[in-house]
Chains A and B, each alone.
Chain A
Amino acid sequence: MIVDDEAPFTRLLKLGLEQKGRYLVQTENDPHRALRAAEQFLPDLVLMDVMMPDLDGGVLAAQFQASPVLGQVPIIFLTAAAKREEVRAHQGKIGGFPFLAKPVNVKEITHCIHQHLGA
């Protein structure tokens, strides 16, 4: 599941991941609706933007972890605020969550997904 206020981005990433043929992707552009949508969709993994209008990615992630059904679902942050070098410097983790610095290509995203799903 992808949560980002950038609709074109989510649309294209969904297409890109589905093209690989191994993912079922749902997108959500409104962070406020993201939790409910996820509880219905029950994703294996969530890609989440950090900076979204009204709702910070960190807060949303806390809500996801608090959810009984989503508590164990891994979350990967995507952020435009960080630089690639910083991601490497922090072993790809901020506040306990792995994250990727925008812009990032599909290959890196899939690589990261594989890492965290262990598949």
Chain B
Amino acid sequence: MAPDKRMTAQEKSKAELKAGSLVEFASRNRGRLIQEAMTRPATAWLALGIGLMVTVLASLGAWRQIRSRDEARFFNRTEALGNGILREMDRYAGLLDSARALWGIHPFVVHDEWRTYVESLALSNRFPGLLALGYIERVSSARQSVWLEQIRPEPSRPPGRAAVDFQVEPPIPQAEHYLVKFVEPLDSNRPALGYDISGEPHRCLAAERARDTGEATLTSKIALVQAPQAPGVLLLLPVYSKGIPPADVGQRRASLQGWVYAALVVQDLWERIRHWGGEEVEVQIFDGPRPDPAAWLMQSHAPPGPGGRAPRPAFERSIALNCGNRVWTVCFRTSPAFVRTPWFSAPGYVSAAGLGMCISLLVFGIARAQASTQRRAQAMAEAMTAKLRLQHHAMVCARNGLFILDASRQDCPIIFANPAFEKITGYSAAEPLGDETLCLLRDEASRNSLPGMRAILQGGAADHPVVREYRRDGAGFWAEFRLLPVLDERGEPTHYLGMVEDVTERKRAEQQLARADRRYHELVDNLPVGVYRNTPGDHGKFQEANPALLAMVEAATKEELMAHSASDFYVNPAQRRELSEQLLHQGFVKDVEMEMQTLNQRKFWASITATRKTDAQGNVFFDGVVVDITVRKLAEESVRNSESRLRAILENAADGIITIDEQGIVESFNPAAVGMFGYAAEEIIGQNVSLLMPSPHREEHDRYLARYGAGGTSKVIGTRREVMGRRSDGSVFPMDLSVSELQLSGRRIFSGIVRDITTRKQAEQAVKESQERFALAVRGTNDGIWDWNVLTGEIYYSPRWKTMLGYEEHEVENTFAGWERLLHPEDRLRATEAVQAYFSGRTENYELEHRLRHKDGTYRWILARGVALRDPQGNPLRMAGSHVDLTARKQAEDQLRRACQELAQSQTTLHNTVKQLQAANEKLRQTQLQLIQAAKMECLGTLAAGVAHEVKNPLQTILVGVDYLDGSLPDRPGNVGLALADMRDAVGRANTIIRDLLQLSAETVFELVHGDLNEVVERSLRLLNSELVSARIKVVCDLEAGLPPIGMDAGKMGQVFLNLFINARQAMAHDGTLRVATRSGCSAAELRVEESLAGRFRPGERLVVAEVQDTGSGIAQEHLARIFDPFFTTKPVGMGTGLGLSIVRKIIDLHQGAMEVRNALEGGVVVTLLFRTG
């Protein structure tokens, strides 16, 4: 493009023409492009058509062959599946046939035998879908009730299994009933038991057809009793009493005994059938000769949802199967899995077709691509042309002069220039071009700058220096040049794009601005006040400041100032915030006085005047002036201070201060004087001071003043006197007055200081009266008085003090030792300690009861009370108090105390006696109870021993008889066996009772050996372990290690625990918890037993306790009193003899232990046993 462009520029100066030629070129080429594009797609479409035709024909042939092969495969799969179904049904028929053989062995098959048989089959593994295997017995209406009687007591049911509840359903009156007699597995099929199928047409029909044909027969689709929601069938096989099916129908009907049957869910058979081809074929089985949707029995695949549609299968087929005297319709269809496989199995045909198709498509694609490339190229050329034209137009219309230099030539000639260039420089576009390189730079100055321009061109640096330039007509102007190099691949400039702008106006404006700026700065910098500009807010920064401001804040440079926030210069930064807010709000502040600080923390006062400004960018800032007013501020301050000090003295003085002039007129009257005289300051100022005086001074005062003024003397001035003052209400009060005279500004004034002394006068009076009263009181009281000077040790004892002890005044010396000598020796220590305690401040009051020796030699009880006078450090200086004679009171107290003690003693004795009586009574009652129990046992024992022998012989006879009967009936019916077992059981039970009775009464040897109770407990638990485990009872043992040994008969003791554990186990049905604990201790609390139980032993004796607790239902309240009675039991017949606890009680009594049975708070029974140790 570059030569092209150059040519255009040289030959045609008008740029429009160049753009026009490009458009022409594009339109010339268009015709050829369209021609090529038209021929190519036709070839592409033809190739595609032929390719597709060949492919279609080839695949049609392949598809036919594959389909016939698949049809054969489908047929084979369906045949295999049909056979599979028949084989499965035969297996079930065979199962029933073998079950029927039980009746061939003997005709009275019982449920147990049936169960054993069925369990041996492992049904769930080998016969999926088989819910139940049962036996239906034919029962005539007349025999139905008898039959039910026979069937109800289910023979020899295994323990733990609930009784079979037999109920005939539905109850229909008719000649014969077909009742379900056995069914297994019983748990899941219980509802079927007793079901009368003669009342249900589908089952009945099949049963009768089976009876008549003698073959295994299926019912139609029915809802099974066990699983009503799954479609099911019964397979029935008749059982005849003669074993083999009789020959004709009549005989068969007569000899029918019942049916064995299997209840099937046909759906579950699928699992066994599917491997015959179930992955590829979907199977549906319908009951009956037609595929009736209501009669479906099995479907191998879930049917499509209500909205969906199954895809059309490749093949479908239905066959009729005859199984179990019924016709089943089996529908087959191919599954999606079947369809997926075959197409890949014909590689030759498919790959040929595919290859044909690929080649056609490839040819077609190439042709299409060629055409579209041509179209895109043309569109691009048109767009480029339009863009170029627009850019050219922009260059022509530009206000700046634009030009292009050819850098490949040494002289860099201008090869293009626009009209604006011409206008600026005065040269036409053609003129400056050619040989004269940069010819417009022709004056001397410009020539000097020419090497600079060269340097720019060679270095390729983009710069735009402003230079002085001259037009073609010689007029000078300022020009700004910009030069941009156009670089080739090597980074060498090929051309320079240039721009020139006339900046003369701008240059002039700049120069004016610079001059104005300089003047302004000179002005501001020389101002003696601080001038600044800063930004708002707490952290506002200084932007401008004059030297005066820098000096004011002691900043060396502007930068130092700018590094700080404006608020740093305020002693109280909050003031800066206030100032800033005020400025923002109202726009200006004027003469605001602030305490400021310099960068060196020196404080100064400043007056600030500032205004808010907003620049073009919307930034807000403040311009202000700061004047240092510290000197003025300090002067003001000092004046204010001295005035306020004086006023404070006057205002706060406790004494009244009044000043008057020479005429006696009041000039000032302070608040204390106001309080004293009751006049307000305003009332009295300007009045004559004589108002404040009672007569006669009131009338005479003016005269005193006049006389003094005339050079006389005054009694008042310079001294202090007690005088009387007069209040506003006319009352008179005593006061101290001192008057002084002073000269103020050549004037003579008098100041008087007055003090109200009413209170002092009153206090003086009160003290005088108090002293008199005290002297009187001391004389009147009967107490002795003492007054001790601690420092000297001298004590004043009043006369009464001494007579109280029978001494004359001179017989006791007035010292501390005088008192000490009279002290009772036992009280001496206590007395001195009391004094010390009081002195040291440990006791609040000094109060001491002590004995002092009377002159007659006896001791008197004295109560001394006193109080000390202390110095500021708390040291006692003096102490005074009184003595009161307590002797009479003390004696009375002693008597009372003695009487009280005696009373308390007799009460304790009485209390003990009552306790002993109670204990004796309780012991008596216990003994009585034990006697009654013992008598009961003895009587019973005697009886038992006699009875045992007489009962055991008949029992023996019965037992042998039972054994004999048992042996003599080898093939007895089940009921007989049951009867014999019951009899044997009864004999065993009778024997157990007798054995327990004997044990209760037997005078067996009783041997006490020291042993560990824990061992016995553990042994007993071991004996019962299997029983407890089978009842799922949890055993919790809390046996104290190192239990002290007790004297016991280990055998008997074992029996005790066995009995208790058996009771506990029987009290808990299942899943209970048996707790066994042993511990030792010496008190009821330690042993955690009832006081009444431990009370049967000596107090403090070491005892061992054993506790057995169950979580059963506990003992009913009304039974608690009888639990130890022989034969009392709450267990069902056969579960217990009622002797267990009696035996336990007896053994515990033999051990001289104690026993208690109670209901635990948390439920269950707690048995507590107590034994002595050693």
Contact = CB atoms under 8 A, between A and B. Distances in A.
Contact of A83 (B956, B964, B995): B995
Contacts of A104: 956, 959
A102 B987 CA distance: 11
Contacts of B961: 8, 12, 16
Nearest to B964: A16
Contacts of B960: 9, 12-13, 16, 105-106
Considering residues B948, B957, B960, B964, which has the most beta carbons from chain A within 10 angstroms of its beta carbon? B960
Interface string B943-964: 0000011001101111111111
A63 to B, nearest CB: 23
A51 interface: yes
A47 B755 CA distance: 144
A6 B967 contact: no
B964 A6 contact: no
B93 interface: no
Interface string B370-396: 000000000000000000000000000
B991 interface: yes
A19 interface: yes
Interface in A1-22: 6, 8-9, 12-13, 15-16, 19-20
A53 to B, nearest CB: 12
B991 A103 contact: yes
A62 interface: no
Contacts of A6: 953, 956-957
A59 B217 CA distance: 76
A76 to B, nearest CB: 14
A105 B948 contact: no
Interface residues of A, number: 22
A103 B956 contact: yes
B964 A19 contact: yes
A81 B998 CA distance: 10
A12 B957 contact: yes
Contacts, number: 64
B613 interface: no
B957 A8 contact: yes
- For chain B, what secondary structure do more than half of its interface residues adopt (helix, strand, loop), or is it mixed? helix
A5 to B, nearest CB: 9
Given A83-B995, A103-B987, A103-B991, A78 B956 contact: yes
Contacts of A81: 948-949, 952
B956 A19 contact: no
Nearest to A107: B963
B1005 to A, nearest CB: 13
A81 B994 CA distance: 10
Given A6-B953, A51-B949, A81-B948, A105 B964 contact: no
B948 A80 contact: yes
A105 B963 contact: yes
Interface in B685-727: none
B290 interface: no
A85 B1051 CA distance: 13
Contact of B967 (A9, A20, A78): A20
Contacts of B948: 80-81
A103 B995 CA distance: 11
B955 A106 contact: no
Nearest to B1002: A83
Interface in A53-109: 78, 80-81, 83-85, 102-107
Given A103-B987, A105-B959, A105-B984, A80 B967 contact: no
A25 B579 CA distance: 140
Contact of B964 (A15, A51, A78, A102): A15
B273 to A, nearest CB: 54
B949 A106 contact: no
Given A9-B957, A83-B995, A106 B967 contact: yes
B953 A102 contact: yes
Nearest to A50: B949
B762 interface: no
Contacts of B958: 103
B98 to A, nearest CB: 35
A103 B955 contact: yes
Contacts of B987: 103
Contacts of A103: 952, 955-956, 958-959, 987, 991
B961 to A, nearest CB: 5
B968 interface: yes
A84 B962 CA distance: 19
Given A80-B949, A81-B949, A84-B991, 19 more contacts: A6-B953, A6-B956, A9-B960, A13-B960, A16-B960, A19-B964, A19-B967, A80-B952, A80-B953, A80-B956, A85-B995, A102-B952, A102-B953, A102-B955, A102-B956, A103-B955, A103-B958, A105-B963, A106-B964
Interface of A: 6, 8-9, 12-13, 15-16, 19-20, 51, 78, 80-81, 83-85, 102-107
5 contacts: A9-B960, A16-B960, A80-B948, A80-B953, A104-B956
